Amino acid sequence: MGIRVRSTLLDALEWVEYAFQPAGEAPPDDVAYGHQRHSAIVVDDEANVPPKSCESDGIIGLGARPVAVYTADCLPVLIADRQQRRVAAVHAGLKGTLAGVLDRAVARLCEAGSTPDALVVAIGPAIAPCCYELGEEMLTPIAQRLSGPLAHCWHREQPRNALAVRPQAIGTQHGIWFNLPQLATAILTEAGVPAANIENVGFCTYCMAEAGSSYRRNTHFNSGYQSRFSWIRRRGDNALF
Ligand SMILES: [Zn+2]
């Protein structure tokens, strides 16, 4: 049994059902998800029935069909639009985040009639700054993506994770320790989503999750990894699809 990770913000929405599933567990039968390519492409759920019908890294749920993303160390971002009762699942690694996939998901929900302050966002299990070393040169393109300061998104010293259940990543390149969930939060707030509406579950796939969760850990130890599915849907309304 894997560990069940919950979002306090999403749990408070009675019309939403969601899961950050453990690595290796199959998603719901009727789920829609795209063929993910670290792009900024966001589509409606019907474009990915059956799953992987088209390339996309964000998917909007219009009815009660669950929409999902599969990740290892990238961010699974689940969004609930309280205004229109739509939902979205976004695959946001560093590359896709810089390409603008989160902004695109917010924009698409708002084009359909929502407003950023109606959105509730949960950032699920992903590699955390305790284990995510990047070359310092990466800070330049990342900084160009934000109008505000980048300083709170990275650390010179590796943060210690008191909740780790296995050793944290060992630095290999004298780089910096990057906080991808914090970058996503900064981008979302610049897109108008209130900070109080954004939750980071703070669950590191490298040092906290069940075995086989981390792509990067597999790179270091050849320990194997499996995708984890994160999905969200509107409750009820089965007749809508
Ligand atoms: Zn970690």
Residue range 135-147, pLDDT digits in tens: 999 999 999 999 9
How far apart, in Å, are the Cα atoms of 36 and each of 54, 83, 172, 224?
A: 9, 27, 28, 20
76 Cα–ligand 1 center, Å: 16
Instruction: Give the pLDDT band (50/70/90) at residue 215.
Output: confident
Of residues 211 and 46, more confidence is placed in 46
Residue 184 CB-density burial (10 A; 0-12 exposed, 13-18 middle, 19+ buried)? buried
Superfamily of domain 8-128+180-240: CNF1/YfiH-like putative cysteine hydrolases (3.60.140.10)
Residue 27 CB-density burial (10 A; 0-12 exposed, 13-18 middle, 19+ buried)? buried
206 Cα–ligand 1 center, Å: 5
**Can you give the pLDDT at residue 67?**
98
Q: Of 14-18, 59-63, 149-153, which gets the smallest average pLDDT?
A: 149-153
107 Cα–ligand 1 center, Å: 31
214 Cα–ligand 1 center, Å: 10
220 Cα–ligand 1 center, Å: 14
Q: Of 94-98, 103-107, 224-228, which gets the smallest average pLDDT?
A: 224-228
Of residues 209 and 196, more confidence is placed in 196
